[in-house]
Amino acid sequence: MSLKASLKTKQRVEKLRKTIERYRYLYHVEDTEEISAEALDSLKYELSNLEEQYPELITPDSPTQRIAGKPLPEFKKVQHKISQWSFNDAFTKEDIVAFDARVKKILGLRFKRPVTPEYTCELKIDGLKIVLTYKGGFLETAATRGDGVIGEDVTSNVKTIDSIPLRLKKPLDIVVEGEVWLPKYELERINKERKKNNEPLFANPRNAAAGSIRQLDPKIAASRKLDSFIYDLSFSKEPLPQTQHEELLLLKSLGFKVNKNFALCKNVEEIISFWEKWKSKARAEDYLLDGVVIKVNERTYQEILGYTGKAPRYAVAFKFPAEQVTTIVEDIVLQVGRTGVLTPVAHLKPVLVAGSTVSRATLHNEDEIKRLDVRVGDTVILQKAGDVIPDIVSVLKEMRTGKEKPFIFPKKVLECGGNGEIERAPGEAAWRCKNKNSFAQTRRKFHYFVSKKAFNIDGLGPQILNLFLDNGLVSSYDDIFTLKKGDILELPGFQEKSAHNLLSAIENSKRIPLSRFLISLSIDHVGEEMAEDVAEAFGTLAAIQGAGRDDFERIEGIGPIVAESIHSWFSQKDNKRLVDRLLKYVQVTPVKQKSTRVLPLKNKTFVLTGTLESLSRDEAREKIKSLGGDVHNSVSKNTDFVVAGENPGSKYTDAQKIGVKILTEKEFLKLLP
How does pLDDT run across 328-356, given as a tens digit for each residue? 899 998 887 767 788 898 998 887 776 56
CA distances from 1 to 4, 53, 56, 612 (A): 9, 10, 12, 51
Q: Check residue 228 and give its pLDDT.
A: 96
Q: Check residue 229 and give its pLDDT.
A: 97
User: Is the pLDDT at 324 greater than 80, yes or no?
Assistant: no
Query: Among 90-94, 578-582, 665-669, where is mean pLDDT lowest?
Result: 90-94
Taken in order 423, 425, 427, 429, is the CA torsion positive or negative?
Answer: negative
Phi, psi for residue 230 in degrees, rounded to 5:
-105, 135
124 catalytic per annotation:
yes
**How far apart are alpha carbons 228 and 249 in whole angstroms?**
16
Catalytic pick from 93, 112, 124, 666? 124
Cα 385–386–388 angle (5° rounding)? 80
Q: Which of 69, 54, 45, 44 is nearest to 1 (CA)?
A: 54
User: Is the pLDDT at 2 greater than 70, yes or no?
Assistant: no
pLDDT in tens, 442-482: 788 889 899 988 999 998 988 898 888 777 688 788 889 98
Average pLDDT over every residue of 565-571: 92
pLDDT in tens, 384-420: 754 457 888 888 888 888 989 999 988 888 777 667 7
Do domains 439-509 and 512-589 share one topology? The answer is yes
User: Is the pLDDT at 509 greater than 50, yes or no?
Assistant: yes
User: Is the pLDDT at 81 greater than 80, yes or no?
Assistant: yes
* Whole-number average pLDDT of the chain: 85
User: Is the pLDDT at 633 greater than 80, yes or no?
Assistant: no
Cα 132–138–139 angle (5° rounding)? 30
Architecture of domain 512-589 in this structure: Orthogonal Bundle (1.10)
Q: Check residue 36 and give its pLDDT.
A: 66
Q: Check residue 622 and give its pLDDT.
A: 75
Query: Among 35-49, 237-251, 486-500, 635-649, where is mean pLDDT lowest?
Result: 35-49
pLDDT in tens, 418-441: 677 888 878 778 888 887 766 677
Per the document, the length of the chain is 673
pLDDT in tens, 118-133: 999 999 998 889 999 9
Identify the helix (H) or strand (E) that includes residue 125.
strand 119-125
Q: Check residue 399 and give its pLDDT.
A: 86
Q: Check residue 386 and give its pLDDT.
A: 45
Q: Tell me the pairing of strands 661-664 and 641-644.
A: parallel
Q: Check residue 354 and give its pLDDT.
A: 64
User: Is the pLDDT at 29 greater than 60, yes or no?
Assistant: no
pLDDT in tens, 599-616: 788 888 899 888 788 888
Architecture of domain 439-509 in this structure: Orthogonal Bundle (1.10)
Architecture of domain 97-319 in this structure: 2-Layer Sandwich (3.30)
Q: Which of 378, 426, 431 is nearest to 401 (CA)?
A: 378
User: Is the pLDDT at 580 greater than 80, yes or no?
Assistant: yes
Q: Check residue 231 and give its pLDDT.
A: 96
Hey, is 161 helix, strand or coil? Answer: coil
Q: Check residue 437 and give its pLDDT.
A: 67
Q: Check residue 537 and give its pLDDT.
A: 86
User: Is the pLDDT at 160 greater than 60, yes or no?
Assistant: yes
Right CATH number for 324-415 from 3.20.20.450, 1.10.510.10, 3.40.50.300, 2.40.50.140? 2.40.50.140
* Structural contact between residues 177 and 84, judged by C-beta atoms closer than 8 angstroms: yes
pLDDT classification of 70: cutoffs 50, 70, 90: very low
pLDDT in tens, 536-561: 889 899 999 999 999 898 887 788 88
**Buried residues in 638-650 as b, exposed as e (16+ CB within 10 A):** ebebbbbbeebee
The reply to whether CATH 3.40.50.10190 applies to domain 605-671 is yes
* Structural contact between residues 380 and 394, judged by C-beta atoms closer than 8 angstroms: yes
Q: What are the domain boundaries of the chain? A: 7-65, 97-319, 324-415, 439-509, 512-589, 605-671
What CATH superfamily is the domain 7-65?
Answer: Helix hairpin bin (1.10.287.610)
pLDDT in tens, 55-69: 899 888 888 776 434
Average pLDDT over every residue of 213-242: 90
Start-to-end C-alpha separation, the chain:
65
Identify which of 45-54, 97-106, 213-222 has the greatest average pLDDT: 97-106
Helices 184-196, 205-213: axis angle to 10 degrees equals 70
Identify the helix (H) or strand (E) that includes residue 158.
helix 155-158
* Structural contact between residues 641 and 607, judged by C-beta atoms closer than 8 angstroms: yes
Hey, is 388 helix, strand or coil? Answer: coil
Average pLDDT over every residue of 290-299: 94
CA distances from 539 to 149, 544, 556 (A): 21, 8, 15
* Structural contact between residues 594 and 626, judged by C-beta atoms closer than 8 angstroms: yes
Q: Which of 51, 41, 47, 40 is nearest to 2 (CA)?
A: 51
User: Three-class SS string for 43-62?
Assistant: HHHHHHHHHHHCHHHCCCCC
User: Is the pLDDT at 380 greater than 90, yes or no?
Assistant: no
Q: Check residue 39 and give its pLDDT.
A: 63
Q: Check residue 32 and give its pLDDT.
A: 62
Average pLDDT over every residue of 621-635: 79
Helices 439-449, 462-470: axis angle to 10 degrees equals 130
